[in-house]
Amino acid sequence: MNDVADLAAADGLLKKSTVLREALQFLGQELWPEYGRHNQNALTAQRRRRWTAFVAIWFGTIAINLAIAQLVLSQVSPDLTAVVTVIEAITVILAAVAVIIGFFLHFHHRWLTERQAAERLRSLKFQSLGWHELWCDPPAWRERVKAQVTLLKNITAHDAEHWATADDNVAPQTAKDPDGPVDPRDVAALADYYCVKRLEYQSAYFERQSKTADRNSWATRYHVSAIAVWLSVVAVLLHGLLAISLMSSARPGAADGAGHEAAHRVEVILVGLAALLPVIGFGCRAWSAAFEFPRSRNLF
């Protein structure tokens, strides 16, 4: 979006195209500051939403697991119960605070609104370079750009939602004839500029985002939720077998093995694992679903 370096170099076809060079200078003055503001606001809101979601999901998951662990430790190691209770209370408070902050500050809505405003300003830049006024009536072109920038820089959450959900029944706007001769060098410069700044940059952005989303899709790629559930089933089966074994050893006349107490502790731990593992799987699934990493990976 920022053409300062390109204009400073002013080499190749861009140096020969006065129309494109002046247009980019004007867009840099009128459009770039608004784009930068909305883009920065979107990144800030996205970062805050990510942190509140992280704290709410993972600390909530930890709190549930600590509650289960507290019950297990009461049978296995009672001395640690008090410590786990304190940690559980802290995680519960942090998760609750994150949920309340996210609910009242609406980071998600602000992120989507600012992101839409920034991307529509980006589209406006490249769209305006195809308007016929650029070639036949530069003052009218500048006024048209200013009007569109004013409209987009004041976008609200309601406007963004309406634009995203409204039915698109309007026929695509067709390009108008420039109403006059156009220097072939201007056309060549505009085509080269579009190929590099719009297509190549966008392609590189998609590639970066795809790799990032792929890294963040580890829970889906490695089937963490499914593995957690199956391990939970295994823990239940082992618990059942161990319980049968303990019942047999507890019958009248049966030998009381020296490892009976240890076996009982293992039994309690298996019950705890059977409860803990699905919660961990749910936390991974909730984290992945909150940001739709697999969908973003496929989309990009």
Question: What does the pLDDT read at residue 153?
Answer: 85
pLDDT above 60: residue 25? yes
Q: What is the mean pLDDT of residues 45-51?
A: 92
Question: What does the pLDDT read at residue 167?
Answer: 65
Q: Where are the alpha helices (DSSP H) in 195-223?
A: 201-216, 218-221
Question: What does the pLDDT read at residue 176?
Answer: 76
Question: What does the pLDDT read at residue 293?
Answer: 87
Q: What is the mean pLDDT of residues 28-48?
A: 93
- State the average pLDDT for the chain: 86
Residue 106: strand, helix, or coil: coil
pLDDT in tens, 215-244: 888 888 889 999 999 999 999 999 888 888
pLDDT above 60: residue 105? yes
What are 88's two structure tokens? 């559980």
Place of tokens 């529509």: 120
Report d(CA 95, CA 101) in Å as an integer: 10
Q: What is the mean pLDDT of residues 102-120?
A: 90
The answer to whether the CB of 250 falls within 8 A of the CB of 263 is no
